Structure 1
Amino acid sequence: MAQDLAARVLCDNLQALTTLTAHTCHELPPDRRINRAYVHSVLKPLLPSLLLGIAAATSLADALALIARHTFRHRPGISKPRKPRSKPHKSMTQKPC
């Protein structure tokens, strides 16, 4: 359990650092944000080679360029909360054993 949590924290920190690096290296406009879910998809197959240092410079540069191309426009102050509604299949949750 502790190893899973530590691995998750390590991956989240690597994703955040990669996102910041891609944002600054490719000079994205301030209203553009990088898709963090896509960063996870790009880094997952690269993690073993990056941690071992095998061809890290070229693969990391290619990954940063790929990550910087997948952005979305951030619009502050716009939120769309879900409408409150009842849970589906309520009768199924309260079934007698």
Structure 2
Amino acid sequence: MAQDLAARVLCDNLQALTTLTAHTCHELPPDRRINRAYVHSVLKPLLPSLLLGIAASTSLADALALIARHTFRHRPGISKPRKPRSKPHKSMTQKPC
């Protein structure tokens, strides 16, 4: 379990570093944010070669360019909370094991 947690933390840190690098290298406007879920899907096939240090710089540069193209506009102060709903399968939430 600790190994799974460490792997998850490592992946999250790599995604954050990749996001910051793509944002600064491609000079995105400050109101544009990179889609972090898309970063995960781009990095997943590259991750073994990145960790082993055998990834070519061109493939990493291509990945950064691809990541920088998938952005969304951040609008501060706008929140869209979900409507309150009843929990599905309410009788099963307290089900004994």
Q: TM-score, normalised by structure 2?
A: 0.90
Summarize the Cα distance change of 1:96–1:39 in structure 2 as closer, same or farther, 3 Å threshold.
Answer: closer
Summarize the Cα distance change of 1:27–1:94 in structure 2 as closer, same or farther, 3 Å threshold.
Answer: closer
- Name the % identity: 99
Q: Distance in 1 between matches of 2:91 and 2:65?
A: 51
Greater Cα radius of gyration, structure 1 or 2: 1
String of CA shifts for 1:53-94, please: whole Å, max 9, x gaps. 223311110100000000000000000101112123335557
Asked whether the 8 Å contact 2:34–2:68 carries over to 1, the reply is yes
Point out 4+ residue stretches in structure 1 off by more than 6 angstroms.
Answer: 94-97
Residue 33 of structure 1 aligns to a residue whose secondary structure is strand
String of CA shifts for 1:31-61, please: whole Å, max 9, x gaps. 0000000000000000111111223311110
How far did 1:95 drift? Answer: 7.8
How many residues matched? 97
Residue 79 of structure 1 aligns to a residue whose secondary structure is coil
- Corresponding position of 1:5: 5
Q: Which runs of 5+ in 1 are unaligned?
A: none
Summarize the Cα distance change of 1:96–1:37 in structure 2 as closer, same or farther, 3 Å threshold.
Answer: closer
How far did 1:8 drift? Answer: 0.3
Q: Which runs of 5+ in 2 are unaligned?
A: none
Q: TM-score, normalised by structure 1?
A: 0.90
